[in-house]
A and B are shown apart, each in its own frame.
Chain A
Amino acid sequence: MRYHTPDNFDEASALAAQASGTTRFLAGGTDVLVQLRSDIVTPDDLIDIKHIPGVREITNEDHGGWRIGVAVSGAEMTEHPRLELDWPGVVEAMDLIGSTQVQGRATLVGNLCNGSPAADAVPALAAAGAHVTVVGPNGSREIAVEDVPTGPGKTCLEKGEVISALHLPRRGHAAGDAYLRFIPRTEMDIAVVGAAINLRLDGDTITEARVALGAVAPTVRLVPKAGAALIGSTLDEAALDKLARAARAACNPIDDRRGTIKFRTKVAGVLAQRAAKIAYARAKGDRK
Chain B
Amino acid sequence: MALDDQKGGFKFIGTRPNRPDGLDKVTGRARFGADAHASGMLHAAILRSPHAHARIKKIDTSRAEAAKGVKAIVTRADFTQSLQPAPGMKGENWNILENVMAGDTALYDGHAVAAVAATSALAAKDALKLIEVEYEPLPHVTDVDKAMQADAPVIREGVAAGTVPKGLHPNVAGYHESGHGDVEAGFAEADLVVEDHFVTEATHQGYIEPHACLAQLGADGKGELWCCTQGHWNVQKVCAALLDLETSQLRVTASEIGGGFGGKTAVFIEPVALALSRKANRPVKLVMSRAEVFRATGPTSSTSMDVKIGMKKDGTITAAQGVFRLQGGAFPGAPADMTAMCAFAPYALKNVHQIGYDVMTNRPKQAAYRAPGSPMAAFGVESVIDELCNQLGLDPLDTRLKNASHEGTKASYGPKFQRIGLVETLEAAKAHPHYTAPLKPGQGRGISCGFWFNHGGETAVSLALSEDGTVQLAVGTPDIGGSRASMALMAAEVLGVPYDNIRVIIADTASLGYNEISHGSRVTYASGLATIKAAEDAVKKLCARAAAKWGIPEDAVKWEDGCAVPSGPNAGEFPPMPIAEITRKMGATGGPICGHFEATPEGAGVSFATHIVDSEVDPETGKTSVVRYTVVQDAGKAIHPTYVEGQFQGGAAQGIGWALNEEYIYGEDGRLQNPLFLDYRIPVASDLPMIDTVIVEVPNPGHPYGVRGVGETSICPPLAAIANAVSAAAGVRMRQLPMSPPRILEALEKQAGDG
User: Which A residues fall within an 8 A CB radius of B?
Assistant: 38-39, 182, 184-190, 192, 256-260, 262-263, 266-267, 270-271
Contact = CB atoms under 8 A, between A and B. Distances in A.
B125 A257 contact: no
A186 B687 contact: yes
A184 B740 contact: yes
A39 B125 contact: yes
Interface in B370-412: none
A257 B665 contact: yes
Given A185-B687, A186-B684, A257-B674, A270 B621 contact: yes
Given A39-B125, A257-B679, A259-B742, A186 B686 contact: yes
Interface of B: 125, 289, 291, 620-623, 625, 660-661, 665, 673-674, 678-679, 681, 683-684, 686-687, 740-742, 745-746
B742 A260 contact: yes
A263 B125 contact: no
A119 to B, nearest CB: 14
A185 B683 contact: yes
Contacts of A187: 684, 686
Contacts of A266: 745
Contacts of B679: 190, 257-258
Contact of B660 (A182, A184, A188, A192): A184
Contact of A185 (B291, B620, B684, B742): B684
A153 to B, nearest CB: 16
Nearest to A182: B621
A31 B745 CA distance: 32
B745 A185 contact: no
Nearest to B623: A184
A259 B740 CA distance: 9
Contacts of B746: 262-263
Q: DSSP majority for the A interface?
A: loop
Contact of A263 (B665, B678, B687, B741): B741
Contacts of A190: 678-679
Contacts of B742: 259-260, 262-263
A184 B745 CA distance: 12
Contacts of B681: 184-185, 189
A184 B125 contact: no
Contacts of B674: 257
A189 B660 CA distance: 15
Say whether chain B's binding surface is mostly helix, strand, loop, or mixed. Answer: loop
A262 B622 CA distance: 13
A263 B289 CA distance: 32
B745 A182 contact: no
23 contacts: A38-B289, A182-B623, A182-B741, A184-B623, A184-B661, A184-B741, A185-B684, A186-B684, A186-B686, A187-B686, A190-B679, A256-B673, A257-B673, A257-B674, A260-B742, A262-B742, A262-B746, A263-B622, A263-B742, A266-B745, A267-B620, A267-B621, A271-B621
B620 A270 contact: yes
Nearest to B618: A270
B46 to A, nearest CB: 14
Contacts of B741: 182, 184, 192, 259, 263, 267
A39 B292 CA distance: 13
B386 to A, nearest CB: 24
Contacts of A258: 679
Task: Pick the 6 closest A-B CB pairs, nearest first.
Answer: A263-B742, A186-B686, A270-B620, A257-B665, A257-B673, A257-B674
A263 B681 CA distance: 18
Contacts of A184: 623, 660-661, 681, 740-741
Contacts of B660: 184
Contacts of B665: 257
Given A38-B289, A267-B741, 11 more contacts: A184-B660, A184-B661, A184-B681, A185-B684, A187-B684, A187-B686, A257-B679, A258-B679, A260-B742, A262-B745, A267-B620
A157 B741 CA distance: 37
Nearest to A255: B742
B173 to A, nearest CB: 29
A185 B621 contact: no
B125 A185 contact: no
A263 B748 CA distance: 12
A213 B99 CA distance: 45
B661 A185 contact: yes
Contacts of A262: 742, 745-746
B116 to A, nearest CB: 15
A163 to B, nearest CB: 26
B697 to A, nearest CB: 35
A185 B661 CA distance: 8
Contacts of B687: 185-186
A271 B665 CA distance: 26
Nearest to B676: A38
A185 B657 CA distance: 10
Contacts of A186: 625, 684, 686-687
A107 B712 CA distance: 44
A177 B687 CA distance: 27
A282 to B, nearest CB: 21
